[in-house]
Structure 1
Protein backbone atom coordinates (compact mmCIF):
# COMPACT_ATOMS: atom_id res chain seq x y z
CA UNK A 1 0.00 0.00 0.00
CA UNK A 2 1.63 3.21 -1.18
CA UNK A 3 0.52 6.38 0.59
CA UNK A 4 0.97 9.95 -0.73
CA UNK A 5 2.43 12.63 1.52
CA UNK A 6 3.28 16.32 1.36
CA UNK A 7 6.40 17.73 3.04
CA UNK A 8 5.86 21.30 4.32
CA UNK A 9 7.48 23.71 6.75
CA UNK A 10 6.94 26.95 8.61
CA UNK A 11 10.24 28.76 9.20
CA UNK A 12 12.06 25.43 9.08
CA UNK A 13 9.73 23.69 11.55
CA UNK A 14 8.94 20.82 9.15
CA UNK A 15 6.02 18.46 8.73
CA UNK A 16 4.97 15.37 6.84
CA UNK A 17 1.27 15.66 5.98
CA UNK A 18 -1.00 12.64 5.46
CA UNK A 19 -4.52 13.39 4.22
CA UNK A 20 -6.91 10.72 5.53
CA UNK A 21 -10.09 12.61 4.62
CA UNK A 22 -10.57 10.81 1.32
CA UNK A 23 -8.31 7.82 1.86
CA UNK A 24 -8.85 4.63 3.83
CA UNK A 25 -5.66 4.77 5.87
CA UNK A 26 -4.98 2.41 8.77
CA UNK A 27 -4.68 4.06 12.20
CA UNK A 28 -1.42 5.91 12.71
CA UNK A 29 0.50 4.46 15.65
CA UNK A 30 3.16 6.29 17.68
CA UNK A 31 5.72 3.84 16.28
CA UNK A 32 4.78 4.62 12.68
CA UNK A 33 4.87 8.37 13.36
CA UNK A 34 8.34 8.09 14.89
CA UNK A 35 9.57 5.94 11.98
CA UNK A 36 8.35 8.43 9.37
CA UNK A 37 9.88 11.32 11.34
CA UNK A 38 13.33 9.71 11.49
CA UNK A 39 15.70 11.86 9.44
CA UNK A 40 18.01 8.97 8.50
CA UNK A 41 15.63 6.12 7.76
CA UNK A 42 12.27 7.87 7.26
CA UNK A 43 11.02 10.96 5.44
CA UNK A 44 12.17 13.22 8.27
CA UNK A 45 10.19 15.86 10.15
CA UNK A 46 9.57 17.56 13.47
CA UNK A 47 5.89 16.58 13.40
CA UNK A 48 3.65 14.20 11.44
CA UNK A 49 0.25 15.74 10.61
CA UNK A 50 -2.74 13.50 9.88
CA UNK A 51 -5.81 15.27 8.47
CA UNK A 52 -9.25 13.80 9.14
CA UNK A 53 -12.88 14.97 8.79
CA UNK A 54 -14.30 17.11 11.60
CA UNK A 55 -17.89 17.76 12.64
CA UNK A 56 -16.88 21.03 14.33
CA UNK A 57 -14.47 22.58 11.80
CA UNK A 58 -13.22 22.20 8.22
CA UNK A 59 -10.86 19.40 9.25
CA UNK A 60 -9.24 17.72 12.24
CA UNK A 61 -5.44 17.79 12.49
CA UNK A 62 -3.72 15.09 14.53
CA UNK A 63 -0.20 16.18 15.49
CA UNK A 64 2.45 13.55 16.24
CA UNK A 65 5.84 14.67 17.53
CA UNK A 66 9.05 13.13 16.23
CA UNK A 67 9.10 10.67 19.16
CA UNK A 68 5.55 9.49 18.39
CA UNK A 69 3.85 11.39 21.22
CA UNK A 70 0.89 13.65 20.39
CA UNK A 71 0.76 17.44 20.64
CA UNK A 72 -2.34 19.51 21.33
CA UNK A 73 -1.70 22.30 18.83
CA UNK A 74 0.91 23.64 16.41
CA UNK A 75 0.84 27.15 15.02
CA UNK A 76 3.39 26.53 12.27
CA UNK A 77 1.51 23.41 11.16
CA UNK A 78 -1.77 25.35 11.08
CA UNK A 79 -0.19 27.88 8.72
CA UNK A 80 1.12 25.07 6.51
CA UNK A 81 -2.29 23.40 6.27
CA UNK A 82 -3.99 26.72 5.50
CA UNK A 83 -1.49 27.21 2.68
CA UNK A 84 -2.15 23.69 1.42
CA UNK A 85 -5.91 24.20 1.47
CA UNK A 86 -5.58 27.54 -0.30
CA UNK A 87 -7.73 29.81 1.85
CA UNK A 88 -9.36 30.54 5.18
CA UNK A 89 -10.35 27.54 7.27
CA UNK A 90 -11.03 26.32 10.79
CA UNK A 91 -8.78 23.55 12.06
CA UNK A 92 -9.80 21.35 14.97
CA UNK A 93 -6.93 20.05 17.12
CA UNK A 94 -6.71 18.24 20.44
CA UNK A 95 -6.02 21.66 21.97
CA UNK A 96 -9.09 23.35 20.46
CA UNK A 97 -10.18 25.00 17.21
CA UNK A 98 -7.74 27.28 15.36
CA UNK A 99 -8.84 29.69 12.62
CA UNK A 100 -6.41 30.55 9.83
CA UNK A 101 -6.59 32.90 6.85
CA UNK A 102 -4.25 34.42 4.24
CA UNK A 103 -2.50 37.68 5.23
CA UNK A 104 -0.02 40.09 3.68
CA UNK A 105 2.87 38.51 5.62
CA UNK A 106 1.83 34.90 4.92
CA UNK A 107 -0.85 33.11 6.95
CA UNK A 108 -2.50 34.52 10.07
CA UNK A 109 -3.65 32.06 12.72
CA UNK A 110 -6.02 32.85 15.60
CA UNK A 111 -4.66 30.70 18.41
CA UNK A 112 -7.47 31.15 20.96
CA UNK A 113 -7.35 32.35 24.55
CA UNK A 114 -4.11 31.63 26.45
CA UNK A 115 -4.57 29.82 29.77
CA UNK A 116 -2.63 30.60 32.93
CA UNK A 117 -4.25 28.61 35.78
CA UNK A 118 -1.81 26.10 37.27
CA UNK A 119 -4.11 23.15 36.52
CA UNK A 120 -4.61 24.32 32.91
CA UNK A 121 -0.87 24.23 32.13
CA UNK A 122 -0.94 21.64 33.82
CA UNK A 123 1.37 21.73 36.86
CA UNK A 124 1.60 19.08 39.55
CA UNK A 125 0.56 21.53 42.29
CA UNK A 126 -0.61 25.16 42.62
CA UNK A 127 1.79 28.06 42.17
CA UNK A 128 2.03 31.49 40.58
CA UNK A 129 2.38 30.89 36.83
CA UNK A 130 3.57 34.42 36.04
CA UNK A 131 6.76 33.97 38.07
CA UNK A 132 7.11 30.34 39.12
CA UNK A 133 9.24 29.90 42.30
CA UNK A 134 11.38 27.17 40.71
CA UNK A 135 14.80 26.89 39.05
CA UNK A 136 16.90 24.50 37.01
CA UNK A 137 20.55 25.52 37.17
CA UNK A 138 20.86 29.09 35.91
CA UNK A 139 17.26 29.12 34.64
CA UNK A 140 14.85 30.47 37.24
CA UNK A 141 11.40 32.03 37.76
CA UNK A 142 9.78 31.13 34.43
CA UNK A 143 6.28 32.05 33.33
CA UNK A 144 3.91 29.22 32.35
CA UNK A 145 1.33 29.51 29.56
CA UNK A 146 -0.88 27.01 27.78
CA UNK A 147 -1.71 27.92 24.17
CA UNK A 148 -2.93 24.47 23.14
CA UNK A 149 0.42 23.11 24.37
CA UNK A 150 2.07 23.69 27.77
CA UNK A 151 5.03 26.11 27.80
CA UNK A 152 7.45 27.57 30.31
CA UNK A 153 9.24 30.78 29.32
CA UNK A 154 12.58 31.89 30.78
CA UNK A 155 13.71 35.47 30.13
CA UNK A 156 17.50 35.53 29.97
CA UNK A 157 20.09 38.16 28.97
CA UNK A 158 21.82 35.90 26.44
CA UNK A 159 20.15 32.65 25.39
CA UNK A 160 23.07 31.54 23.20
CA UNK A 161 25.26 30.79 26.21
CA UNK A 162 22.73 28.44 27.85
CA UNK A 163 22.88 24.71 27.06
CA UNK A 164 19.24 24.28 26.06
CA UNK A 165 20.05 20.89 24.53
CA UNK A 166 20.92 19.73 28.08
CA UNK A 167 18.45 21.68 30.21
CA UNK A 168 15.55 21.29 27.76
CA UNK A 169 15.00 17.54 28.22
CA UNK A 170 15.57 17.85 31.98
CA UNK A 171 12.85 20.48 32.35
CA UNK A 172 10.52 18.78 29.83
CA UNK A 173 10.46 15.59 31.91
CA UNK A 174 10.40 17.19 35.38
CA UNK A 175 7.61 15.76 37.60
CA UNK A 176 6.31 19.32 38.02
CA UNK A 177 4.83 18.92 34.52
CA UNK A 178 2.55 15.86 34.39
CA UNK A 179 2.10 16.16 30.61
CA UNK A 180 5.65 17.33 29.91
CA UNK A 181 6.37 20.90 28.80
CA UNK A 182 7.92 22.98 26.01
CA UNK A 183 10.90 25.06 27.15
CA UNK A 184 11.45 28.59 25.80
CA UNK A 185 14.56 30.77 26.23
CA UNK A 186 13.73 34.40 25.42
CA UNK A 187 15.97 37.45 25.17
CA UNK A 188 14.34 40.87 24.98
CA UNK A 189 15.64 43.02 22.12
CA UNK A 190 13.23 45.97 22.41
CA UNK A 191 9.62 46.77 23.31
CA UNK A 192 8.52 45.07 20.09
CA UNK A 193 11.12 42.35 19.44
CA UNK A 194 12.14 39.12 21.20
CA UNK A 195 14.77 36.54 20.27
CA UNK A 196 13.71 32.97 21.06
CA UNK A 197 15.02 29.41 21.15
CA UNK A 198 12.69 26.49 21.91
CA UNK A 199 13.08 22.94 23.15
CA UNK A 200 9.87 21.29 21.95
CA UNK A 201 8.26 18.53 23.98
CA UNK A 202 8.70 15.32 22.01
CA UNK A 203 10.70 16.94 19.21
CA UNK A 204 13.76 18.59 20.78
CA UNK A 205 15.42 21.71 19.40
CA UNK A 206 13.50 23.04 16.41
CA UNK A 207 14.10 25.97 14.08
CA UNK A 208 10.73 27.49 14.96
CA UNK A 209 7.78 26.89 17.28
CA UNK A 210 4.54 28.79 16.71
CA UNK A 211 2.93 28.05 20.06
CA UNK A 212 6.27 28.81 21.73
CA UNK A 213 6.40 32.21 20.04
CA UNK A 214 2.83 32.89 21.18
CA UNK A 215 3.46 31.74 24.75
CA UNK A 216 6.64 33.82 24.98
CA UNK A 217 4.98 36.96 23.61
CA UNK A 218 2.02 36.56 25.97
CA UNK A 219 4.30 36.01 28.99
CA UNK A 220 6.33 39.12 28.09
CA UNK A 221 3.14 41.16 27.68
CA UNK A 222 1.78 39.98 31.02
CA UNK A 223 5.02 41.09 32.68
CA UNK A 224 4.86 44.47 30.95
CA UNK A 225 8.10 43.86 29.06
CA UNK A 226 6.79 44.41 25.51
CA UNK A 227 3.89 46.05 23.68
CA UNK A 228 0.75 44.26 22.45
CA UNK A 229 2.31 43.53 19.06
CA UNK A 230 5.76 41.96 18.95
CA UNK A 231 8.10 40.25 16.50
CA UNK A 232 9.47 36.94 17.79
CA UNK A 233 12.71 36.00 16.06
CA UNK A 234 13.51 32.28 15.94
CA UNK A 235 16.44 30.47 14.28
CA UNK A 236 14.24 29.78 11.24
CA UNK A 237 12.81 33.29 10.91
CA UNK A 238 10.36 35.73 12.48
CA UNK A 239 6.71 35.54 13.53
CA UNK A 240 4.42 38.47 14.30
CA UNK A 241 2.38 38.00 17.49
CA UNK A 242 -0.49 40.24 18.62
CA UNK A 243 -2.61 39.76 21.75
CA UNK A 244 -5.46 41.96 22.96
CA UNK A 245 -5.28 40.58 26.50
CA UNK A 246 -8.36 38.40 25.98
CA UNK A 247 -9.55 35.93 23.35
CA UNK A 248 -7.65 37.25 20.34
CA UNK A 249 -4.12 35.87 20.08
CA UNK A 250 -2.96 36.25 16.47
CA UNK A 251 0.18 34.74 14.95
CA UNK A 252 1.27 35.69 11.42
CA UNK A 253 4.09 34.23 9.37
CA UNK A 254 5.08 32.28 6.25
CA UNK A 255 4.71 28.63 5.30
CA UNK A 256 5.93 26.65 2.30
CA UNK A 257 5.60 23.31 0.55
CA UNK A 258 8.91 21.45 0.15
CA UNK A 259 8.02 18.40 -1.97
CA UNK A 260 5.55 15.55 -2.50
CA UNK A 261 6.03 11.82 -2.64
CA UNK A 262 4.74 8.40 -1.63
CA UNK A 263 5.90 5.70 0.77
CA UNK A 264 5.05 2.06 1.40
CA UNK A 265 2.99 1.86 4.59
CA UNK A 266 4.32 -1.60 5.43
CA UNK A 267 7.90 -0.33 5.47
CA UNK A 268 7.15 1.86 8.52
CA UNK A 269 4.18 0.26 10.32
Structure 2
Protein backbone atom coordinates (compact mmCIF):
# COMPACT_ATOMS: atom_id res chain seq x y z
CA UNK A 1 0.00 0.00 0.00
CA UNK A 2 1.26 3.48 -0.85
CA UNK A 3 0.86 6.00 1.96
CA UNK A 4 1.21 9.73 1.45
CA UNK A 5 3.22 11.53 4.13
CA UNK A 6 4.53 14.95 5.08
CA UNK A 7 7.81 15.69 6.85
CA UNK A 8 7.76 18.67 9.23
CA UNK A 9 10.44 20.01 11.55
CA UNK A 10 9.81 22.01 14.72
CA UNK A 11 13.03 23.49 16.13
CA UNK A 12 14.95 20.48 14.84
CA UNK A 13 12.48 17.86 16.05
CA UNK A 14 11.46 16.12 12.82
CA UNK A 15 8.17 14.32 12.40
CA UNK A 16 6.33 12.20 9.86
CA UNK A 17 2.71 13.33 9.52
CA UNK A 18 -0.10 11.20 8.12
CA UNK A 19 -3.59 12.39 7.24
CA UNK A 20 -5.62 9.67 8.95
CA UNK A 21 -9.02 11.37 8.85
CA UNK A 22 -10.41 8.29 7.03
CA UNK A 23 -9.31 6.29 10.13
CA UNK A 24 -7.38 3.69 8.12
CA UNK A 25 -4.45 3.26 10.49
CA UNK A 26 -5.82 3.21 14.02
CA UNK A 27 -5.07 -0.45 14.71
CA UNK A 28 -1.58 -0.56 13.20
CA UNK A 29 -0.34 2.94 14.03
CA UNK A 30 2.43 1.75 16.42
CA UNK A 31 3.92 -0.62 13.82
CA UNK A 32 3.67 2.02 11.11
CA UNK A 33 5.41 4.57 13.32
CA UNK A 34 8.35 2.20 13.72
CA UNK A 35 8.61 1.78 9.95
CA UNK A 36 8.18 5.48 9.15
CA UNK A 37 10.72 6.69 11.73
CA UNK A 38 13.48 4.30 10.65
CA UNK A 39 16.24 6.56 9.30
CA UNK A 40 17.84 3.76 7.28
CA UNK A 41 14.90 1.89 5.78
CA UNK A 42 12.01 4.32 6.22
CA UNK A 43 11.44 8.07 6.10
CA UNK A 44 13.21 8.98 9.33
CA UNK A 45 11.87 11.02 12.21
CA UNK A 46 11.69 11.62 15.94
CA UNK A 47 8.05 10.55 15.87
CA UNK A 48 4.97 9.92 13.73
CA UNK A 49 1.76 11.93 14.02
CA UNK A 50 -1.60 10.73 12.73
CA UNK A 51 -4.07 13.56 12.15
CA UNK A 52 -7.63 12.41 12.83
CA UNK A 53 -11.12 13.82 13.16
CA UNK A 54 -12.43 14.66 16.60
CA UNK A 55 -15.94 16.11 16.87
CA UNK A 56 -15.30 18.38 19.84
CA UNK A 57 -12.10 19.93 18.44
CA UNK A 58 -10.64 20.97 15.09
CA UNK A 59 -8.58 17.77 14.98
CA UNK A 60 -6.92 15.02 16.98
CA UNK A 61 -3.20 14.28 16.88
CA UNK A 62 -2.08 10.77 17.77
CA UNK A 63 1.68 10.79 18.37
CA UNK A 64 3.85 7.66 18.43
CA UNK A 65 7.55 7.34 19.23
CA UNK A 66 10.04 5.62 16.89
CA UNK A 67 9.84 2.49 19.05
CA UNK A 68 6.06 2.39 18.55
CA UNK A 69 5.21 3.50 22.08
CA UNK A 70 2.33 5.88 22.54
CA UNK A 71 0.06 7.58 21.95
CA UNK A 72 1.85 10.27 23.92
CA UNK A 73 1.91 14.03 24.30
CA UNK A 74 4.63 15.79 22.31
CA UNK A 75 5.05 19.56 22.46
CA UNK A 76 6.97 20.11 19.25
CA UNK A 77 4.91 17.38 17.60
CA UNK A 78 1.79 19.34 18.49
CA UNK A 79 3.28 22.43 16.90
CA UNK A 80 4.05 20.41 13.76
CA UNK A 81 0.46 19.15 13.74
CA UNK A 82 -0.92 22.70 13.83
CA UNK A 83 1.31 23.67 10.89
CA UNK A 84 0.14 20.58 8.97
CA UNK A 85 -3.53 21.37 9.53
CA UNK A 86 -2.96 25.01 8.54
CA UNK A 87 -0.86 24.32 5.42
CA UNK A 88 -3.18 21.61 4.14
CA UNK A 89 -6.29 23.74 4.70
CA UNK A 90 -7.86 21.05 6.86
CA UNK A 91 -9.06 23.85 9.07
CA UNK A 92 -8.35 27.37 7.83
CA UNK A 93 -8.02 29.76 10.74
CA UNK A 94 -5.30 31.20 12.92
CA UNK A 95 -6.21 29.47 16.16
CA UNK A 96 -7.07 25.83 16.77
CA UNK A 97 -8.34 23.40 19.37
CA UNK A 98 -6.98 19.87 19.23
CA UNK A 99 -6.91 16.67 21.22
CA UNK A 100 -3.62 15.07 22.29
CA UNK A 101 -2.91 12.09 24.53
CA UNK A 102 -3.12 14.21 27.70
CA UNK A 103 -6.27 16.13 26.79
CA UNK A 104 -7.33 19.20 24.82
CA UNK A 105 -4.93 21.97 23.80
CA UNK A 106 -4.98 25.28 21.95
CA UNK A 107 -2.68 26.22 19.07
CA UNK A 108 -1.96 29.47 17.26
CA UNK A 109 -0.27 29.85 13.87
CA UNK A 110 1.37 33.08 12.72
CA UNK A 111 3.95 33.46 9.94
CA UNK A 112 5.51 30.04 10.37
CA UNK A 113 5.68 30.34 14.15
CA UNK A 114 3.38 28.02 16.08
CA UNK A 115 2.47 28.29 19.76
CA UNK A 116 0.57 25.62 21.66
CA UNK A 117 -0.67 25.29 25.21
CA UNK A 118 1.12 22.78 27.42
CA UNK A 119 -0.31 21.26 30.56
CA UNK A 120 0.73 23.20 33.63
CA UNK A 121 3.89 21.56 35.00
CA UNK A 122 3.39 19.58 38.19
CA UNK A 123 5.43 17.71 40.76
CA UNK A 124 8.63 19.74 40.98
CA UNK A 125 10.45 17.15 43.04
CA UNK A 126 14.10 16.88 43.93
CA UNK A 127 15.62 13.42 43.40
CA UNK A 128 19.14 12.14 44.00
CA UNK A 129 21.25 10.22 41.51
CA UNK A 130 24.85 9.25 42.29
CA UNK A 131 24.92 11.92 44.97
CA UNK A 132 23.72 14.69 42.64
CA UNK A 133 20.38 16.49 42.67
CA UNK A 134 18.07 16.12 39.68
CA UNK A 135 14.63 17.67 39.34
CA UNK A 136 11.51 15.75 38.32
CA UNK A 137 8.81 17.72 36.47
CA UNK A 138 5.70 16.44 34.69
CA UNK A 139 4.45 18.43 31.67
CA UNK A 140 2.10 15.80 30.31
CA UNK A 141 5.05 13.43 30.06
CA UNK A 142 7.70 12.85 32.77
CA UNK A 143 10.95 14.81 32.62
CA UNK A 144 14.15 15.11 34.60
CA UNK A 145 16.01 18.42 34.56
CA UNK A 146 19.72 18.41 35.39
CA UNK A 147 21.73 21.58 36.02
CA UNK A 148 25.18 21.27 34.53
CA UNK A 149 28.30 23.03 33.32
CA UNK A 150 30.09 22.49 30.01
CA UNK A 151 26.83 21.43 28.37
CA UNK A 152 28.37 21.10 24.92
CA UNK A 153 30.89 18.51 26.17
CA UNK A 154 28.50 16.25 28.09
CA UNK A 155 28.47 12.63 26.91
CA UNK A 156 24.68 12.39 26.81
CA UNK A 157 24.57 8.96 25.16
CA UNK A 158 26.50 7.55 28.10
CA UNK A 159 24.97 9.48 31.01
CA UNK A 160 21.33 10.00 30.04
CA UNK A 161 20.27 6.34 29.51
CA UNK A 162 21.10 5.57 33.14
CA UNK A 163 18.90 8.42 34.36
CA UNK A 164 16.18 7.56 31.86
CA UNK A 165 16.09 3.94 33.05
CA UNK A 166 16.18 4.81 36.76
CA UNK A 167 13.37 7.39 36.63
CA UNK A 168 11.52 6.27 33.46
CA UNK A 169 11.62 9.83 32.16
CA UNK A 170 13.04 12.07 29.46
CA UNK A 171 16.29 13.69 30.53
CA UNK A 172 17.15 17.38 30.02
CA UNK A 173 20.52 18.97 30.74
CA UNK A 174 20.54 22.77 31.03
CA UNK A 175 23.17 25.46 31.48
CA UNK A 176 22.92 29.23 31.80
CA UNK A 177 25.03 31.08 29.25
CA UNK A 178 27.02 34.22 29.94
CA UNK A 179 24.27 36.33 28.35
CA UNK A 180 21.76 34.95 30.87
CA UNK A 181 19.91 32.70 28.44
CA UNK A 182 19.56 28.98 29.03
CA UNK A 183 20.82 26.23 26.74
CA UNK A 184 19.28 22.77 26.76
CA UNK A 185 20.01 19.28 25.46
CA UNK A 186 17.47 16.46 25.72
CA UNK A 187 17.56 12.67 25.64
CA UNK A 188 14.06 11.46 24.75
CA UNK A 189 12.35 8.35 26.02
CA UNK A 190 10.92 6.34 23.12
CA UNK A 191 13.49 7.81 20.75
CA UNK A 192 16.23 6.50 23.07
CA UNK A 193 18.66 9.10 21.81
CA UNK A 194 19.37 12.80 21.96
CA UNK A 195 17.07 14.94 19.82
CA UNK A 196 17.70 18.46 18.56
CA UNK A 197 14.85 19.84 20.68
CA UNK A 198 12.00 18.77 22.96
CA UNK A 199 9.05 21.05 23.62
CA UNK A 200 7.74 19.46 26.80
CA UNK A 201 11.33 19.17 28.02
CA UNK A 202 11.92 22.88 27.43
CA UNK A 203 8.71 23.60 29.32
CA UNK A 204 9.86 21.46 32.25
CA UNK A 205 13.22 23.22 32.28
CA UNK A 206 11.64 26.68 32.14
CA UNK A 207 9.33 25.80 35.01
CA UNK A 208 12.27 24.62 37.11
CA UNK A 209 14.25 27.77 36.29
CA UNK A 210 11.29 29.96 37.26
CA UNK A 211 10.97 28.23 40.64
CA UNK A 212 14.62 27.81 41.58
CA UNK A 213 15.99 31.07 40.21
CA UNK A 214 12.87 33.24 40.52
CA UNK A 215 13.08 34.01 36.80
CA UNK A 216 10.00 35.53 35.21
CA UNK A 217 8.29 34.37 32.03
CA UNK A 218 8.73 34.37 29.09
CA UNK A 219 11.80 32.16 29.32
CA UNK A 220 13.80 31.29 26.21
CA UNK A 221 15.80 28.11 25.86
CA UNK A 222 18.34 27.46 23.14
CA UNK A 223 18.16 23.89 21.88
CA UNK A 224 20.50 22.44 19.29
CA UNK A 225 17.76 22.77 16.67
CA UNK A 226 16.57 26.27 17.48
CA UNK A 227 15.16 28.55 20.14
CA UNK A 228 11.99 27.77 22.06
CA UNK A 229 10.02 30.19 24.21
CA UNK A 230 7.87 29.27 27.17
CA UNK A 231 5.38 31.79 28.49
CA UNK A 232 2.79 31.73 31.24
CA UNK A 233 -0.43 33.74 31.14
CA UNK A 234 -3.19 33.36 33.71
CA UNK A 235 -1.81 29.98 34.78
CA UNK A 236 -1.74 28.74 31.17
CA UNK A 237 1.63 27.69 29.72
CA UNK A 238 2.49 28.34 26.07
CA UNK A 239 5.28 26.74 24.04
CA UNK A 240 6.30 28.53 20.84
CA UNK A 241 9.02 28.33 18.22
CA UNK A 242 9.76 27.87 14.52
CA UNK A 243 8.12 25.19 12.39
CA UNK A 244 8.77 24.27 8.78
CA UNK A 245 7.39 21.83 6.23
CA UNK A 246 10.42 20.04 4.74
CA UNK A 247 9.05 17.71 2.07
CA UNK A 248 6.20 15.40 1.16
CA UNK A 249 6.07 12.06 -0.64
CA UNK A 250 4.74 8.52 -0.66
CA UNK A 251 6.10 5.35 0.90
CA UNK A 252 5.28 1.73 0.04
CA UNK A 253 4.27 -0.24 3.13
CA UNK A 254 3.11 -3.84 3.42
CA UNK A 255 0.25 -3.79 5.92
- The counterpart of 1:216, out of the listed 177, 192, 205, is 205
TM-score normalised according to structure 1 size:
0.85
Taking the aligned partners of 1:75 and 1:188, their CA distance within structure 2 comes to 22
Residue in 1 that maps onto 2:32: 32
Residue in 1 that maps onto 2:91: none
Of 83-92 and 145-154, more deviation after overlay is shown by 83-92
Residue in 2 that maps onto 1:22: 22
Uncovered stretches (5+) of structure 2, i.e. residues with no partner: 87-93
Q: Which structure 2 residues correspond to residues 1-269 of structure 1 after superposition, within 5 A? A: 1-22=1-22, 24-25=24-25, 27-70=27-70, 72-86=72-86, 87-103=94-110, 106-116=113-123, 129-132=124-127, 134-136=128-130, 140-174=132-166, 177=167, 180-189=168-177, 193-203=181-191, 204-244=193-233, 247-266=235-254, 269=255
Task: Give how far 1:151 is off.
Answer: 0.4
Kept in 2, the 8 Å contact 1:136–1:171? The answer is: no
Residue in 1 that maps onto 2:89: none
Taking the aligned partners of 2:49 and 2:16, their CA distance within structure 1 comes to 6
Uncovered stretches (5+) of structure 1, i.e. residues with no partner: 117-128
Taking the aligned partners of 2:162 and 2:156, their CA distance within structure 1 comes to 9
Kept in 2, the 8 Å contact 1:218–1:243? The answer is: no
Taking the aligned partners of 1:105 and 1:192, their CA distance within structure 2 comes to 27
Task: Give how far 1:225 is off.
Answer: 4.9
Aligned residues: 247
Taking the aligned partners of 1:17 and 1:41, their CA distance within structure 2 comes to 17
Task: Give how far 1:191 is off.
Answer: 8.4
Of 7-16 and 165-174, more deviation after overlay is shown by 165-174
TM-score normalised according to structure 2 size:
0.89
SS state at 2:119 partner: coil
Kept in 1, the 8 Å contact 2:49–2:81? The answer is: no
**CA-to-aligned-CA distance 1:238-258 (integer Å, 9 cap, x gap):** 0111125x6311111110111
Task: Give how far 1:107 is off.
Answer: 1.1
Taking the aligned partners of 1:241 and 1:162, their CA distance within structure 2 comes to 24
Taking the aligned partners of 1:222 and 1:209, their CA distance within structure 2 comes to 20
C-alpha RMSD of matched pairs (Å): 2.0
Kept in 2, the 8 Å contact 1:130–1:219? The answer is: no
SS state at 1:82 partner: helix
Q: 1:131 to 1:147 in 2, by over 3 A?
A: same
Q: 1:205 to 1:71 in 2, by over 3 A?
A: farther
**CA-to-aligned-CA distance 1:25-74 (integer Å, 9 cap, x gap):** 36224333112111010010000111122233222211111111115211
